Amino acid sequence: MRIGMLDYYQYTSNMWFSLSSESLWNAPPETPTKAVDDTSGNNVDYNDTSKELFAGTDIVYKIAQQVGDLGVDVMTPYTSFTYRDELPDNVTFLGTGKIVAESSNGTKITSWDFSTNSKDNSSVGTLSSTTTDGKTTVNFAFSADFLPNPSDFNSSTNSHMVYDQRKYILELDCQINANAPTETDINNTATVGIDKKYSNNTNRVTVRVIKYIPQTASQRLLAIVILIIVLGIAIVVISKHRRAKE
């Protein structure tokens, strides 16, 4: 009986240590979220604000992922961390973006700028995009060197990922196409992958596109002047046409 107990404990101990610490301790990540702002940082998601945008307007898609708390729900640093955004029709990616690190209470900690045409901040990650059959997909991947959390790492330098429930937010600079149909909604979601086994979709954001209407007094005056000129030209052409018939 005593030998049997020893065999049992040896078996369970071996089974415990044969499993990876990742599968035992890294809890599933929080569901990522998505927002869409104007270039001034104002929310323009039609679902939240009922704001309407003109074709040709610059917008910023923001994909936020909260990381775990090392030693609490994450026992090993992530082995991979990626963002994927399949852009909708009538939206163009401008080739630039940034990663913003934000504390759990919403305070900005630091940020890194990225471009598909530059290797700046490649020690942190890489921004890329592909277009197939007119569909553009934007990808961002944190580098393998950035994800670990060394024992001698000073978190104030932000040279590595910090696992303290902060958010890492990918911001993508985009533009509504100038020829986008008016009175239409442009919907978009994104996907975040972690440890190559978790892949979660964000909520959906919506941009409502409307016909351009001059907003300021000077814009309205200019529109009236242009309209008068066009009408004047039309009248002259019609008059000449009638005289020619006579």
Q: What is the pLDDT of residues 156-179, one digit of tens each?
A: 888 999 999 999 999 999 999 999
Distance CA 69, CA 165 (A): 5
24 found inside a domain: no
Residue 162 and residue 234 in one domain: no
Task: Tell me the residue type at 174.
Answer: C
- Checking if the pLDDT of 8 tops 90, the result is no
Residues 150 and 76 in one domain: yes
Structure tokens at 117: 């045409």
- Using a pLDDT cut of 90, give the percent of the chain over it: 68
Non-local (6+) Cβ contacts of 23 within 8 A are: none
Residues 38 and 147 grouped into a single domain: yes
Q: Mean pLDDT, to the nearest integer, of 122-142?
A: 97
Task: Give the amino acid at 217.
Answer: A
- Of 55, 127, 115, 44, the closest CA to residue 89 belongs to 55
Q: Is residue 163 within 8 Å of 67, Cβ to Cβ?
A: yes
Domain total in the chain = 2
In a domain, 23, yes or no: no
Is 62 in the same domain as 124? yes
Question: Is 103's pLDDT higher than 50?
Answer: yes
- Are 167 and 160 a contacting pair, CB within 8 Å? no
Question: Are 227 and 119 found together in one domain?
Answer: no
Residue 11 pLDDT exceeds 60:
no
Contacts of residue 156, Cβ cutoff 8 Å, sequence gap at least 6? none
Residues 163 and 54 in one domain: yes
Least confident of 1-10, 57-66, 95-104, 159-168: 1-10
Per-residue HEC secondary structure of 37-100 comes to ECCCCCECCHHHHCCEEECCCEEEEEEEEECCEECCCECCCCCCEEEEEECCCCEEEEEEEEEE
Q: Whole-number mean pLDDT of the chain?
A: 87
Give the residue ranges of DSSP H helices in 64-176.
none
Mean pLDDT lowest for which of 20-24, 95-99, 100-104? 20-24
Lowest-confidence range among 7-11, 31-35, 93-97, 228-232?
A: 7-11
**pLDDT tens column, 16-61:** 444 444 445 789 999 999 999 999 999 999 999 999 999 999 999 9
Q: For residue 94, list its beta bridge partners.
A: none
| Domain ranges, residue 50 | 33-210
The confidence band for 227, taking pLDDT boundaries of 50, 70 and 90, is confident
Same-domain check for residues 84 and 115: yes
- Both 228 and 110 in a single domain? no
Rounded-to-integer distance, Cα 77 and Cα 104, Å? 18
Instruction: Identify whether residues 232 and 196 lie together within a single domain.
Output: no
CA distance 40 to 60: 9
- Please state the separation of Cα 8 from the chain's center in Å: 50
pLDDT-based confidence at residue 10 (cuts at 50, 70, 90)? very low
Cα 213 to chain centroid distance, Å, stands at 29
For 9, phi then psi, to 5°, come to -65, -35
From the list 57, 63, 65, 106, the residue with the least C-alpha distance to 85 is: 63
